[in-house]
Amino acid sequence: MASIEGCSLVTFSIEEERSEIDLANLASLVEAYSALLFRIAHSVLRSRAEAEDVVQEVFIRVLKHRSSLHEVRDKRVWLVRIAWNLAIDHRRRIQPEQMDEYFAQSLVTDTLPIDDAIDQAQRMKSVLREIERLPKAERHVLLFSAIEELGTAEIAEVLGRSESAIRALLFRARTRLRYRLEAQGGDR
């Protein structure tokens, strides 16, 4: 009997140790990737609160699937894919007119004089409106690229496309956006 009880204690301590390791891994993932995941969700949702909700939901999912975390080849791409998909799902529930009005202003630096800041915020709104008008695939690739932390190979992996397709989409998106902004009047 004593050996059976000892065995159960060992099993309990191993499970407890695994749990502590899982929490340590989760804490390191949160520290390493939460800012990136927030920027991704924010670029899609344009709402600070919604983006924070998405990041929280990403890590809840990681916690639920922590037993298979060791099987993930590239945790960064995996987390980005989860955040992207969750943000897109949240976005489908939000109408464009409900999006955070302060998003464009949040992209403008605080060091500008007020007149310049207002002008720059108006230009940002115009650019964001034109980005919204892009075809979905081009818009997605452009948003990933604008985040600047994902390269072509990573974007391809997240979206499940080839690198050449990503480069072509990115070229078309930038070209289309540039022409539309020039047509609106100048260097917006």
| Residue 141 CB neighbours (<10 A) | 29
Provide the residue type at 137 as one letter.
A
Dihedral in degrees, nearest 10, Cα atoms 149, 152, 155, 156: -160
CB-based contact 45:51 (threshold 8 Å): yes
Which residues lie closer than 8 Å to 10 by C-beta, 6 or more apart? Answer: none
Name the architecture of domain 1-97.
Answer: Orthogonal Bundle (1.10)
Q: Is the confidence at residue 102, as pLDDT, over 50?
A: yes
Model pLDDT, residue 3: 41
Model pLDDT, residue 8: 38
Average pLDDT of the segment spanning 19-32: 73
| Structure tokens that stand for 80 in this block | 């980005």
Model pLDDT, residue 57: 94
Model pLDDT, residue 171: 95
Q: What does residue 101 show for φ and ψ, rounded to 5 degrees?
A: -65, -20
Model pLDDT, residue 13: 41
Average pLDDT of the segment spanning 134-155: 83
2-11, 24-33, 123-132, 163-172: least confident range? 2-11
Query: pLDDT for 26-48, tens place per residue?
Result: 788 889 899 999 998 988 888 88
Q: Is the confidence at residue 55, as pLDDT, over 50?
A: yes
Model pLDDT, residue 169: 94
DSSP SS3 for 134: coil
Q: Is the confidence at residue 14, as pLDDT, over 50?
A: no
Q: How far apart are CA 121 and CA 116, in angstroms?
A: 8
Which residues lie closer than 8 Å to 55 by C-beta, 6 or more apart? Answer: 34, 37, 38, 41, 83
Handedness of CA 28, 103, 125, 131 (dihedral sign): positive
Lookup result for tokens 């917006």: 188
Alpha helices in the chain (DSSP H): 2-45, 48-64, 75-93, 103-106, 114-133, 136-147, 152-159, 163-185
Query: pLDDT for 153-174, tens place per residue?
Result: 988 988 889 999 999 999 999 9
Average pLDDT of the chain to the nearest whole number: 77
Model pLDDT, residue 16: 44
Q: How far apart are CA 111 and CA 89, in angstroms?
A: 35
Task: Give the distance between the most distant pair of CA atoms in the chain.
Answer: 85
12-26, 146-160, 169-183: least confident range? 12-26
23-27, 92-96, 164-168: least confident range? 92-96
pLDDT band at residue 95 under the 50/70/90 scheme: low
